[in-house]
Chain A
Amino acid sequence: MKTIILNGNPATGRPDFNGYLDRLLDTLLRQSQEARIFNLAEMKLHYCTGCWTCWWKTPGKCVFRDDMDLVLTEIAGADRLVFASPLSMGFVHSTLKRVMDRMIPLLLPYVDLYQGECHHYLRYEKSPWFDVLIEKERDTDPEDLEIINTCFQRLSLNYRTRLLFTKTSEVSVEEVAHEINRI
Chain B
Amino acid sequence: MKLTAFNGSPRGESSNTKILMGHFAKGFETIPGNSFEGYDLKKIEEHSRYAEIFRQSETVLLAFPLYTDAMPGIVKAFIEKLTPKEVSSPGAPEPLHKKDACARKRIIFLVQSGFPEAVHCEAVEKYLKKLARRLGYECGGVIIKAGAEGIQAMPPQMTCKLFKQFYALGEIFGKSGKLDEGLLKKLRGKRRFSLVIFPLFYLMKWVGLMDFYWNQKLKENGAFERRFDRPYSVK
Q: What mask results when residues 194 to 232 of chain B are scored 1 for a CB within 8 Å of chain A, else 0?
A: 000010011001000011001001101101001111111
B73 within 8 A of A: yes
Q: Interface residues of B toward A: which range? A: 35 or more
22 A-B pairs (CB sep. < 8 Å):
A47-B74, A48-B10, A50-B9, A56-B221, A59-B229, A60-B229, A60-B230, A60-B232, A76-B230, A76-B232, A77-B232, A89-B131, A90-B131, A93-B80, A97-B70, A105-B232, A109-B214, A111-B210, A113-B198, A118-B115, A118-B117, A151-B70
Asked if B228 and A94 sit within 8 Å, CB to CB, the answer is no
Asked if A59 and B119 sit within 8 Å, CB to CB, the answer is no
Asked if A88 and B83 sit within 8 Å, CB to CB, the answer is yes
B contacts, CB < 8 Å to A: 9-11, 15, 44, 65, 67-74, 76-77, 79-80, 82-83, 115-117, 119-120, 122-124, 126-127, 130-131, 134, 192-193, 198, 201-202, 205, 210-211, 214, 217-218, 220-221, 223, 226-234
Q: A118-B115, A147-B126 are in contact. Are A58 and B10 (CB under 8 A)?
A: no
From B73, B83, B119, A94 is in contact (CB under 8 Å) with B73
CB distance from B161 to the nearest CB of A (A): 22
The residue among A55, A56, A101 with the most chain B CB atoms within 10 A of its own CB is A56
CB distance from A132 to the nearest CB of B (A): 13
Q: A47-B74, A48-B10, A91-B76 are in contact. Are A117 and B192 (CB under 8 A)?
A: yes
From A97, A105, A106, A143, B71 is in contact (CB under 8 Å) with A97
The distance in angstroms between the C-alpha atoms of A154 and B77, with both chains bound, is: 21
Q: Which residues of A contact B232 (CB under 8 A)?
A: 60, 69, 72-73, 75-77, 105-106, 124
The distance in angstroms between the C-alpha atoms of A58 and B227, with both chains bound, is: 8
The distance in angstroms between the C-alpha atoms of A63 and B44, with both chains bound, is: 19
Asked if A151 and B127 sit within 8 Å, CB to CB, the answer is yes
Asked if A117 and B134 sit within 8 Å, CB to CB, the answer is no
Q: Which residues of A contact B230 (CB under 8 A)?
A: 60, 76, 123-124
Q: What mask results when residues 103 to 139 of chain A are scored 1 for a CB within 8 Å of chain B, else 0?
A: 1111011111100111000011000000000000001
CB distance from B95 to the nearest CB of A (A): 12
The residue among A60, A89, A123, A144 with the most chain B CB atoms within 10 A of its own CB is A89
Q: For chain A, residues 57 to 84, give those with C-beta under 8 angstroms from any C-beta of chain B.
A: 57-61, 69, 72-73, 75-77
Asked if B134 and A139 sit within 8 Å, CB to CB, the answer is yes
Asked if A73 and B234 sit within 8 Å, CB to CB, the answer is yes
From B10, B115, B127, B229, A90 is in contact (CB under 8 Å) with B127
The distance in angstroms between the C-alpha atoms of A100 and B77, with both chains bound, is: 13
A181 within 8 A of B: no
A36 within 8 A of B: no
The distance in angstroms between the C-alpha atoms of A57 and B221, with both chains bound, is: 6
Q: Which residues of B contact A150 (CB under 8 A)?
A: 122-123, 126
